[in-house]
Chains A and B, each alone.
Chain A
Amino acid sequence: MKNKLTTALILTAAIVGAGVGLTGVQAEEKKTVAYLAPSLDISYWQWVGYGVKKKAEELGMDYVEYTSENSPAKQMDNARTAVTKGVDAIVIGPVSSTSTPPLLAYLKSQNIPIAFAGIGPQPGQTDYTSSVTANNYETGKAQGSFVCKLAKDRGGSKVGMLSLPQDRENAQKYLKGAKEAFATDGCELAQMLETRGLTVNEAVTQANDMLTAHPDIKAIYGMYDEAGTGAAKILETRGLTGKVGIAVADGSPTTIGLLKANAIQGIFFQEAVGQGLDGTQQVFNALTDAPVTKDLALVMPLVTADKVDSPEAKAVVARVFPPSN
């Protein structure tokens, strides 16, 4: 009896021990991806984070999040902290392209794969796994053509632009593409105003001032989402809704609402969630020795008011912001 009891105890201990060991192995195998956001006060970076988290869940990875508060130093600290805590891969929305070289050098030394989302690395850098960004130049060109058409449909050729700060590489690419389209399609950029705060309030003031200085503007090119909201507000105030066209980049629930109300004529959607999804997939591929795509320049699809409820548009929107929005 005593022997049987001893045997049963040993067997139980063995089974429990094996179980604990197995769990330990599984835990060891579960990878962690860290998302380094430049700041989380802009919805866009929250939505990228949602994409990273969602894909991480799909792939059986743990997810952690760090905020750089727009500081390159904090960004570097966050990367070091993440590595110290044992993350296996990083998806980053960098503070700026120029802030990334030391970070990339450090992560290379630690053998940590990194994918960029939204903003790419500094030109010339190669020590990264993947860069998933919007094709700003081509989008700028397409949006420029669309805005020019809006102006011509309204009997004019002058357009105004509410721009992102032109010290940003993506803003420069948007502008380059847009200017080429204006030249080709016969439109004149009457005025461009750059944002400082990226707020609707600022865009309202700028759009108002732009239309005061150039009353013959027939279409407005919004380079960021709040620009579209602000411009639409001012057109409504001035009784110009529909008489001056608006096309905006990025997209949000607010601008989709304005699109449905015909206050905005077109949105070039930047796939924030999609960039998070794709970036995470790429670092996971790197960890599992699957093929990796180094540079993914996602097109920014145009959705117009008449197609906003189509299945294609809904599929696009699903890659822009989370369903809770």
Chain B
Amino acid sequence: MTHTTTQGTQAAGQTPCAIRHRESIIGTYRTEVAIAVAIALLALAVGSQVPQALSWGNFANVTQAGAPLIIMSLGVLLVVITGGIDLSVGSVFSLTGMVTAQAMAYGYGGVAASMFGLGVGLVFGSINGFLVTIAGLAPFVVTLITFAVAGSLAFIVTNGRSMPIPDPDFWLLNSGSLIPGLPNYILFCLVLLVAIEIFLKKMVAGRWFYAVGSSAAAAYLLGIPVKRTKFFAYVASSLLASFSGLLTISYILNAESTAGSSLMLQAIAAVVIGGASLLGGTGTAVGAVLGALMITVIQNGVNLIGINSFWQGSVTGLAILIAVVIDRFSKSRRGAG
């Protein structure tokens, strides 16, 4: 199939260099292309049942609903590439919302309150990073602990009550437009996607993440700062979880202590659907974003068609299974080739 494409492009008069470049991109993003096709097919299938699914309005719904998961998934991806796991992101997400809302209730403005919120991410990310790298504890155990602590604090901050956001302009963070015509929630997703993808693929420090995830011992022998790389991954993961929490409370103008309870598993699922291995060493930002989009499209489709929402988990599980099988099949073919 690739051969046919090459012939076609040669016929179009492109240089061999351009063809090789395109093939290289397709080869690098083979899994991501498959996910994008799957999302398109899924959307078409839903659209055949509910035509409004393919409307521009629904596209906006899906992207706005999916933006927090996309951003959280990008953070989780960084940890997963290094061979770790971050179970605390959902709780950090919730705690960020509660702290920010409480800060506003104490009279702080939206920007200052958001700094408090991001501080939650910084603190919990640093704790995770410290315990994993310096104390040498297992990432699963460490982030399970911080998941429990942050989740508990989310209740303690406001005694379990949900908090309305008192700053009338706070919605601008999510739904405003720093660039005219482009809602902020899309802008943030795009900027983070491009920045993280370039960081991972084009920058030396980004390549360290893959090296650490493939073999921390080998990376250490090569002089790669393994601990610093892992520490940075956990801090980035928590900070992005906090930012997605801010984005959510800006959208719904309400903070809830249980808001992030289902997001942690979704974020990990998104990363896996996107082609990352939980063993570390693989994964792309494009894949994570597409994985998050696929989960959001599934949720959207289930709602539009009117299927009982309890099926969402099963459908998402099936999507993960298909993605993993495709990825494995694709890798084995590449290996055989």
Contact = CB atoms under 8 A, between A and B. Distances in A.
A210 B162 contact: no
A254 B164 contact: yes
Contact of B304 (A200, A209, A229, A253): A209
Interface residues of A, number: 36
Interface string B57-70: 11001000100000
A257 B164 contact: yes
Contacts of A195: 309
Given A46-B159, A196-B310, A215 B252 contact: no
Contact of B258 (A199, A208, A233): A199
Interface string A51-82: 00000000000000000000000000000000
B2 interface: no
A204 B309 contact: no
Contact of B61 (A193, A212, A252): A212
B15 interface: no
B299 interface: yes
State which size class the interface on B falls in: 35 or more
B309 A200 contact: no
Among A191, A198, A200, which residue has the most Cβ atoms of chain B within 10 A?
A200
A38 to B, nearest CB: 13
B189 interface: no
B164 A213 contact: no
A87 to B, nearest CB: 23
B161 A212 contact: no
Contacts of B160: 40-43, 46
Given A41-B155, A46-B159, A194-B309, A212 B58 contact: yes
A197 interface: yes
Interface in A178-208: 191-201, 204-206, 208
A200 B97 CA distance: 13
A199 B300 contact: no
Nearest to A238: B57
B259 A199 contact: yes
B137 to A, nearest CB: 26
Contacts of B55: 212
Of the listed residues B155, B261, B306, B312, the one surrounded by the most CB atoms of chain A closer than 10 A to its CB is B306
A26 interface: no
Interface string B130-170: 00000000000000000000000001000111101000000
B251 to A, nearest CB: 7
A298 to B, nearest CB: 23
Given A196-B310, A198-B258, A233 B304 contact: no
Given A41-B257, A233-B252, 8 more contacts: A41-B155, A41-B258, A46-B161, A198-B258, A213-B306, A233-B253, A253-B164, A325-B161
27 contacts: A40-B155, A41-B257, A41-B258, A46-B159, A46-B160, A46-B161, A193-B303, A193-B306, A194-B308, A194-B310, A197-B262, A199-B256, A199-B258, A200-B162, A200-B252, A205-B61, A205-B65, A206-B309, A208-B65, A209-B61, A212-B53, A212-B57, A213-B52, A215-B52, A230-B252, A252-B162, A253-B164
Interface of B: 50, 52-53, 55, 57-58, 61, 65, 155, 159-162, 164, 175, 248, 251-254, 256-259, 261-262, 299-300, 303-306, 308-310, 312
Query: What are the 8 closest A-B residue pairs judged by CB atoms, nearest first?
Result: A209-B303, A213-B304, A200-B254, A205-B65, A212-B52, A208-B61, A213-B50, A212-B58
